[in-house]
Amino acid sequence: MSASDDAPLADGQAQPAAAPEGPRPFGKYELVELIGTGGMAEIYKARSLGPDGFAKLLVVKKILPEYAQNKAFINMLIAEAKVTSLLEHPNIVQIFELGEIAGQYYIAMELVDGADLLDVLARCTRDKLRVPTEIALFIVSEVCKGLAHAHAATDAAGRALNIIHRDVSPSNILLGLNGAVKIMDFGVATADLAAAPDGTFDPTTSTFKGKLGYLSPEQVLGHPIDRRSDVFALGIILFEALTLKRLFVGKTDIQTIVNIREANVERKFKRHSYIPKGIRAILQRALARDPTRRYQTATDLQEAILDYLFESRLRVTGRSLAAFLRQVLHPAPPLGPSPPLATDAPPPRELETDSDAPVEEEVLPALPADAHARRQLPRDLRRVDLSRASFHFRVDGEPAFGPLDFPRMSTLVATRCVSPREWVSVNGSDWLRTGEVQAIVDLHPALFEEEPDRPLFDGPMNRHRTPRLLNRIWSGGLSGKLKLTRATVQKEIYFDRGAPVLVHSNLKSELLGAFLIERGLVAPEDVDRALMVATEPRALLGTALVRSGLLPVDRVATALAEQFRDRLVEPFSWATGWYEFFAGVMPPRPPIPLGATPPELLMYGIRTHYDLGCLRRIFDAYLDKPLVVPADLAARVTPLGLLESEQAAARALRADTTLSQLLAGPSGAGEGRLSLLRVAFACFQTDHLAFRLPRPG
């Protein structure tokens, strides 16, 4: 086991902790050096002491003191020891012992003198070195051997154990300076073990385990998995070793899940055209979205790699790997200019991620506005330790939102869910404008700065004009930011060639948690539970709900699109407000795939926010004015995505008739009355309908 276990660079785990001052006893072991701290355990380099000065170096992994009484963590450690103890193979890190000392459970395991693959890839990225093709293939081939042994393992009676690792990732692949390659950490593996005592951890009960960037499509979708999920993870590792770029990781966990679910690797191959054709074929099969189209076993993948090496006349052994590791981990001081390692690709520029989904926000229960007595605090709050402060926010017309701790407050500000004009109370102080609290402004100054340019157009907005305003941007193919303001409410809608791609809103009722609760998808206690079990202080709610098994990933992704849609059309309900359009302003985050066109969103907003009484008031002065409509109106409004009753209403709108006549006829009977006025309003806002007015004089 290496020092970087449980500390991948991009999977949110803890960094290695500082070493203790000196060796200290732990039962029959001597803990020499703390080499890492993971999510639940400390990892020590240790010595096993025996008579006559006998000593053996190994690794001791023991549960962190704060989790020493946590049954779930204890059972997870026991599960790791149980599974690995059944596996004896040169490509699997060996478990020597499971024990308990003074209430602390531990496992003693083999020490591998070297580094994990993650550390090696990180060093190569830093030093602008490539992993030679044959070395990357050799590493994956050796891991295939260990996994194939685990997948085929049986108990003493010959019964198949059906072990699935479920956490095959670079940090769990150890590379020895002697050229050894070993897979480790079966802590979240599934296996058909004998019946365990009550309370023993059962990995199969969790939604999904393992590091998010290395899961298979069936894992993130909550479908049954088998050994082909481990094969998929090996395909990811091979791609990343060859390119030094992350394959599926997005800017949010939800986007990473969506990327894995789609498993679209062809666009990545276009960016990395230097990958040889034969290796590309191996990757395409290993990374097939459908498990039936993948290599069915790790042995199948290993044989494909060996065939490629043979056909390419590439000879590689453990000695080749050892030489490469010495060059990466212990480079000799340069005597002069020297070329990088031999490579078949250009040096990397930077780690690469893809993101097509919004950054979601957390939600915490809102408190009534009078929940706390307020007291005065200075506006700059210089004497207040914000890292330990409690925050409440309030938007006019909504209850107070909070309390929030500092990380969650900072996340809301960073994701522009807080506007400069809304109210904030810090540690129960009097309400102040957020933009007046300098300590909050300093967190993200750009949020509170004045717009650098004058708007292309601006003006007042109301329910008569808002759909027309959005249609003006959509039909004109404009790109930029539409800023909408009403009292302390602020929205920013970003457009790319007329299509809305991102919405910022400071309405706390539009946060994802409130959205899901209001629609009955989760209960308030589910939201609290998901955030409580999240492993990171700034955990995103959607990811926490998926990891907790409270919502499937597809439903969360759909909810995010629905949340975006409702945020976008909510201004249709504003009686008054002010709009400003700033041309050319790019969205701060990548575009969002909505699955709906701008005209369809406009019609959805009208259905949602315009009832019969509202529409009657809007058309009151025009009910008896003759209509001006094209003969092919029904065809022209097809992009609006009209419902069946609305399509009938569109066919009824004819030139020289009046709305009064249509409302009095069959088209205005029952529910048809509302459909008729909604379609007429949509056609009017999109310039497909007008009224003939008498000429002046």
Q: What does the DSSP 8-state code read for residue 101?
A: E
pLDDT (mean) for 371-395: 64
Judge whether residue 205 has pLDDT over 90. no
Burial class (CB in 10 A: 0-12, 13-18, 19+), 29: buried
Close Cβ partners of 372 (under 8 Å, ≥ 6 residues apart) = 392, 425, 428
CA distance 113 to 364: 46
Calculate the CA 320 to chain-centre distance. Answer: 38
Q: What does the DSSP 8-state code read for residue 360?
A: P
Question: 413 in helix, strand or coil?
Answer: helix
What is the per-residue pLDDT for 189? 67
CA distance 562 to 540: 17
pLDDT (mean) for 36-53: 78
What is the token pair recorded at 382?
A: 């210089």
Element spanning 277, H or E: helix 277-286
Where do runs of H (alpha helix) occur along 330-427?
406-414
In whole numbers, what is the pLDDT of the chain averaged over residues?
A: 81
Q: Most confidently modeled of 28-37, 250-259, 640-649, 686-695?
A: 640-649
Pick the closest to residue 87 from 152, 1, 5, 142 (CA basis): 152
Do the Cβ atoms of 96 and 46 come closer than 8 Å? no
Pick the closest to residue 490 from 563, 422, 398 (CA basis): 422
CA distance 265 to 246: 12
Do the Cβ atoms of 346 and 274 come closer than 8 Å? yes
Q: 76 vs 568, which has greater pLDDT?
A: 568
Judge whether residue 552 has pLDDT over 90. no
pLDDT (mean) for 133-147: 96
Judge whether residue 195 has pLDDT over 60. no
349 pLDDT band (50/70/90 cuts)?
A: very low
Judge whether residue 73 has pLDDT over 60. yes
108 to each of 111, 114, 285, how far by Cα in Å? 9, 18, 37
pLDDT (mean) for 52-81: 76
Phi, psi of 184 (to 5 degrees): -140, 180
300 to each of 153, 257, 295, 668, how far by Cα in Å? 17, 27, 6, 68
Q: 370 vs 310, which has greater pLDDT?
A: 310
Single-letter code of the amino acid located at 344: D
CA distance 548 to 207: 7
What is the per-residue pLDDT for 308? 95
Q: 103 vs 44, which has greater pLDDT?
A: 44
Pick the closest to residue 401 from 429, 364, 372, 435 (CA basis): 364
Calculate the CA 331 to chain-centre distance. Answer: 37
Do the Cβ atoms of 575 and 462 come closer than 8 Å? yes
CA distance 624 to 626: 6
What is the per-residue pLDDT for 407? 75
Partners of 36 in beta bridges: 43
What is the token pair recorded at 135?
A: 């070395």
436 pLDDT band (50/70/90 cuts)?
A: confident
117 pLDDT band (50/70/90 cuts)?
A: very high
Close Cβ partners of 135 (under 8 Å, ≥ 6 residues apart) = 316, 320, 321, 324
> Given phi > 0 = left and psi -120 to 50 = alpha, else beta, which region is 669?
beta
Lowest mean pLDDT among 470-474, 513-517, 627-631: 513-517
Judge whether residue 20 has pLDDT over 70. no
Single-letter code of the amino acid located at 501: V
pLDDT (mean) for 49-55: 76
What is the per-residue pLDDT for 521? 87
Q: What does the DSSP 8-state code read for residue 543?
A: H
pLDDT (mean) for 393-414: 84
Q: 189 vs 533, which has greater pLDDT?
A: 189
Judge whether residue 667 has pLDDT over 50. yes
Q: Most confidently modeled of 21-25, 100-104, 367-371, 693-697?
A: 100-104
pLDDT (mean) for 249-256: 75
What is the per-residue pLDDT for 361? 36
Phi, psi of 58 (to 5 degrees): -155, -170
Which residue ranges form the domains of the chain, and what is each CATH number?
Answer: 116-146+162-183+207-329 (1.10.510.10), 386-448 (3.30.1490.40), 457-583 (no CATH), 610-691 (no CATH)
Close Cβ partners of 44 (under 8 Å, ≥ 6 residues apart) = 26, 31, 32, 33, 34, 35, 59, 60, 61, 62
CA distance 412 to 392: 12
Kindly list the strands in the beta sheet with 41-49, ordered across the sheet, starting from the edge strand earlier in the chain: 24-26, 29-37, 41-49, 55-63, 104-109, 95-101
